[in-house]
């Protein structure tokens, strides 16, 4: 399998050949006019939005936001401080990664420099997100429950994609876990004795270059690794119900997880100790 690259297709062409068939594609030339492509140096980002707060993830065993039910180690810091940290020598390469930063709300001064890809209706994507990595930032192998366009504004990323049908070889966490959409296989150091089928899974591997957009269809597995300093904006947009029906296994896992986790929350609420009443003063 190899990824197709297409110069600025029309929306009709995109919908007919890629969206409706659930086929990933790299789109070139569709973000050349975004001011961010020229403007987004570290100096510019610091001067425009350095005082704004962003969410930063810390890697575990080389990978960000991974693992069973404990997942995710996040902290909050100013964009300017983050840039100082990752461009200085204080932290090792790839250890920190600013992920899923809702750019319109968190960094409104920077949102002016980017736009929506012309392949879905804007109102269907309530919150585009910025991903700002220092290089060597690795996201785990996982799938999402919506279609996605990942745009590469600065730097590049190594991408590995697996079709939804390979789920049986990719060892997701149990459907009742909060990480049900994440593979237990660590892409940085895969344990082939625990996960023997993993090597047999059909995959697409390529580099997403600066100025390119990647369409990741619903339920396609993806893992990404930043090459040098890198910034992406991603757009998850509302996916029509009919697209879920094409993937009964993933859809039923999602619904099963929802039921189990709602029941757990209800149970926790019921078991919560009543707080002692305060004496009115
Ligand atoms: O770029 C990354 O590191 C991860 C992006 C991702 O997982 C996504 O857009 O769904």
CATH number of the domain to which 167 belongs? 2.60.120.650
For 201, the domain range is: 5-266
How remote is the CA of residue 106 from the centroid of ligand 1, in Å?
Answer: 18
Q: Is residue 271 included in any domain, yes or no?
A: no
C-beta of 107 in contact with ligand 1 (< 6 A): no
From the CB of 131, is ligand 1 less than 6 Å away?
yes
From 232, 235, 236, 239, mutation site for ligand 1 pocket: most ligand atoms within 8 A of C-beta? 232
Q: So what's the pLDDT on residue 276?
A: 61
230 lines ligand 1 (CB under 6 A): no
pLDDT confidence of 53, banded at 50, 70, 90? very high
Give the pLDDT confidence of 188-197 residue by residue, as tens digits: 899 999 999 9
**How would you classify the pairing of strands 147-162 and 212-216?**
antiparallel
Residue 54 lies in a domain: yes
153 in a domain, yes or no? yes
What is the DSSP-derived secondary structure letter of residue 53? E
Cα–Cα dist 230/235, whole Å: 17
26-40, 55-69, 82-96, 156-170: segment of lowest average pLDDT: 55-69
Q: Does residue 279 lie in a domain region?
A: no
For the chain, the domain total comes to 1
Q: Is 152 in the pocket of ligand 1 (CB under 6 A)?
A: no
pLDDT, tens digit (0-9, with 9 covering 90-100), for 220-272: 999 999 999 999 999 999 999 999 999 989 998 988 888 888 888 888 877 87
Question: Rounded mean pLDDT of 34-53?
Answer: 98
What are 134's two structure tokens? 């220092």
- Can you tell me the distance from the alpha carbon of 19 to that of 7, in angstroms, rounded to the nearest whole number? 16
Residue 18 clears pLDDT 70, i.e. is over it? yes
């Amino acid at each position: 399998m190899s990824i197709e690259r297409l110069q600025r297709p029309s929306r009709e062409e995109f919908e007919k050949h890629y969206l409706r068939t659930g086929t990933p594609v790299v789109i070139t030339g569709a973000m050349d006019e975004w001011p961010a492509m020229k403007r987004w140096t570290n100096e510019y980002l610091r001067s425009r939005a350095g005082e704004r707060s962003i969410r930063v993830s810390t890697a575990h065993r080389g990978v960000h936001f991974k693992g069973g039910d404990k997942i995710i180690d996040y902290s909050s810091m100013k964009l300017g401080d983050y840039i100082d940290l990752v461009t200085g020598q204080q932290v090792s390469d790839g250890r920190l990664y600013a992920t899923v930063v809702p750019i319109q709300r968190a960094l409104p001064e920077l949102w002016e420099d980017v736009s929506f890809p012309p392949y879905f209706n804007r109102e269907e994507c309530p919150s585009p997100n910025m991903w700002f990595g220092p290089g060597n930032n690795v996201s785990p192998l996982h799938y999402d429950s919506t279609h996605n366009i990942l745009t590469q504004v600065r730097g590049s990323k190594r991408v590995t994609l697996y079709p939804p049908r390979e789920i049986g070889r990719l060892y997701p966490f149990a459907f009742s876990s909060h990480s049900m959409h994440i593979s237990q296989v660590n892409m940085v150091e895969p344990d082939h004795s625990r996960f023997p089928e993993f090597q047999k899974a059909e995959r697409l591997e390529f580099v997403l270059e600066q100025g390119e957009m990647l369409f990741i269809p619903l339920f396609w597995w993806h893992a990404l690794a930043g090459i040098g300093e890198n910034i992406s904006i991603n757009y998850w947009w509302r996916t029509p119900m009919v697209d879920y029906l094409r993937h009964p296994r993933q859809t039923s896992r999602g619904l099963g997880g929802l039921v189990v986790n709602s029941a757990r929350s209800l149970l926790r609420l019921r078991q919560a100790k009543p707080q002692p009443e305060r004496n009115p003063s």
